[in-house]
Amino acid sequence: MKINIVKAASGKANVSALFFVKQSVQFSNIISEAATVQVESVLKGMVDGPFEDLELLEIDGTSTIFVNAAKERGISSLDHLRMAAYRLAKKAMARQIPVVNIMLADAADEQFKAIAHGLNSANYKFDAYKSKQKDNFQVTFEIVAGDKSSDFKAIEEEVAVEQTAVTLAKNLVNTPAADLTPEDFVENAKTIAKYTPGLSIKVRDVKQLEKEGFMGHVTVGKGSERPPYMVTISYDGTKSSSRAGKKSERTSADHLVLVGKGLCFDTGGLCLKPPKSMPEMISDMTGAATVLAAIQAIATLKLPLKVSAVLCLAENAIGNKSVLPGDIFTAKNGKTVMVDNTDAEGRLVLSDGLAEAGLIGATHIVDLATLTGAMVRALGYAIAGFFSNDDPLALNIINSGEASCEKFWSMPLEEEYADGLKDKFADLKNTGSDAGAISAALFLQEFVPADTAWAHLDIAGTAFVTKKWKYTEYGATGFGVQTLIELARRMSNATAASEEYKEI
């Protein structure tokens, strides 16, 4: 699939595409008045029928695909455009149409970006394990942008970077656990750090983790023959960046640290999971895959912000050294934890990741984890719940999600449930008595460094689907990658705006 941004139509298109919302023609001022009348006549004829996508009708002598941009319920106007573009691309590939022309000269930047994301999303498939593989038919989408062609080209370049990151996250999550052990994950991270300018990497193996007191990883991973690792990837875009044709040293103290749960497989340990839910546990490393993909994109985009990613990698397996219910360990921050349930392991490795974020000087921490079934039951597969101790960060996450067509819902850090985490022998236990998702967040809060803005994103419902949802037929959704990139973009823009004000 290829996107060409042009100022005027080249005449090479086999088919034109037109987005519409029921009977309202979108971007109608770029087609002739006579064509608009024909379009409206066609749409009026659909008034009593379902508003399905139409195919290859003649408008001004040109074969035209009409794509309904309001087919799905409950999504934003931008996501409507994404979905319409996704269906258009799927249809064009299925019909093997070489060149499709889309008139978008009067589209806003965010509308074009949504359409570009939708077109790119249709190109993804995971067939590495199929005995017979077939390439997608390559469609060229010619975007007629008029005077906006240069702006759209810049946007399309950003979309390409973001989609590369989403593909990375999806591929990691969809890879079977036998082929993506914690050590394999480390090798992937090393490769990305090596070939992405601006990234540096630090890897701690199990001996270093134990020596430095990161006992969450050690406790969770000791039942597996595949030892745990913690990976810290760093990017500093605050050092030399150009703005308005001049070099500047940014003075922002902001340091965004992304912490990802990376359970490459989760059996539940001795508190074994039910067999039916076991196959999906290849996705329990989605948090780590998401933050790795996000920092790769942030560095590629050269965003002027200091960002780090901490990958908390382990395998929760059953072995003769497995952690036992009732075992107690001392966490990195000195608090003792009784393992009440071995299947509440994600919060244990995250306790180390949060500690590491503090050690490297985080001012803002966002952790992502497929953490609780309670969140799935509360919000389902379309919305991720999150918790935060900082209102500006929480609002920024919601807004970043909206811009990325990803839904987040703010949940309460209800202190009334905190007493449920108290243990008779240790400072804490890893499960609470009520409100599972809230209790998990309250547990994590115990390890957040003082005076640090923090948000915990529980993506258990949105990370992996077993039925078609939006741009995913089955498996990893890539949810969260674009929100993290957008969050970093907004934080860096806020820094830039502040510096511009100072210079004035």
Which candidate, 316, 353, 336, 346, places its Cα nearest to that of 222? Answer: 316
pLDDT over threshold 90, residue 176? yes
Higher pLDDT, 348 or 44: 348
* Bridge partners, residue 383, by sequence: 407
- Among candidate residues 15, 70, 77, the one with its CA nearest the CA of residue 43: 70
pLDDT value at residue 26: 56
CATH architecture of the region 2-147: 3-Layer(aba) Sandwich (3.40)
State the pLDDT at residue 284.
98
Residue-wise pLDDT tens digits, 14-31 = 998 888 776 555 544 444
Amino acid sitting at position 480: G
Rounded to the nearest angstrom, the gap between the alpha carbon of residue 352 and the centroid of all alpha carbons in its chain is: 22
**Spatial separation of the C-alpha atoms in residues 211 and 230, rounded to whole Å:** 13
- Structure confidence at residue 253 (pLDDT): 83
Whether residue 452 contacts residue 359, with contact meaning beta carbons closer than 8 Å, is answered with: no
Per-residue pLDDT tens over the stretch 424-479: 999 999 999 889 999 999 999 999 999 999 999 999 999 999 999 999 999 999 99
Radius of gyration of the chain from its Cα atoms, rounded to whole angstroms: 24
Q: Using alpha carbons, select from 418, 476, 465, 478 the residue that is nearest to residue 445.
A: 418
CA distance 326 to 429: 9
Give per-residue pLDDT as tens, 110-159.
999 999 999 999 999 999 999 999 999 999 999 999 999 999 999 999 99
Q: Tell me whether residue 263 is exposed, middle or buried, using C-beta atoms within 10 angstroms of its C-beta: 0 to 12, 13 to 18, 19 or more.
A: buried
> pLDDT of 200-225, one tens digit each?
999 999 999 999 999 999 999 999 99
> Which pLDDT value is given to residue 93?
96
pLDDT value for 244 = 37
Q: Is the pLDDT of residue 416 over 60?
A: yes
Amino acid 45: pLDDT: 65
Q: Between 41 and 69, where is the model more confident?
A: 69
The model's pTM is: 0.94
Split at pLDDT 50, 70, 90, the class of 50 is low
Looking only at the bridges linking them, the beta strands covering 336-338 and 475-476 are: unpaired
User: Is residue 89 pLDDT above 70, yes or no?
Assistant: yes
Residues annotated as catalytic (active site), given as ranges: 273, 347
Residues of the chain with CATH 3.40.220.10: 2-147
Cα angle value 461/404/309 (rounded, 5°): 70
Tokens 């001795």 -> residue? 270
Fold of the 159-503 domain: Aminopeptidase (3.40.630)
DSSP string, 397-458: HHHHHHHTT-EEEE----GGGGGGG--SSSSEES--SS-HHHHHHHHHHTTSPTT-EEEEEE
Distance CA 326, CA 425 (A): 10
Taking the C-alpha atoms of residue 119 and residue 90, their distance in angstroms, rounded to an integer, is 8
Positive/negative CA dihedral, 91, 93, 98, 99: positive
pLDDT in tens, 162-173: 999 999 999 999
CATH 3.40.630.10 positions along the chain are 159-503
Tell which residue, 219, 420, 239, has the closest CA to residue 332: 219
SS3 assignment for 324-340 = CCCCEEECCCCCEEECC
The total of other beta-carbon atoms located within 10 Å of residue 364's CB is 23
Strand partners, 2: 140
Average pLDDT, the chain: 91
φ, ψ dihedrals at 269, nearest 5°: 65, -150
Q: Chain centroid to CA 121: how far?
A: 13
pLDDT for position 68? 82
Taking phi over 0 as left and psi of -120 to 50 as alpha, with beta for the rest, 367 belongs to: beta
Residues in the chain: 504
- 3-class SS of residue 99: strand
Please state which of the ranges 57-66, 335-344, 426-435 shows the lowest mean pLDDT: 57-66
In the beta sheet, which residues pair with residue 313? 229, 262
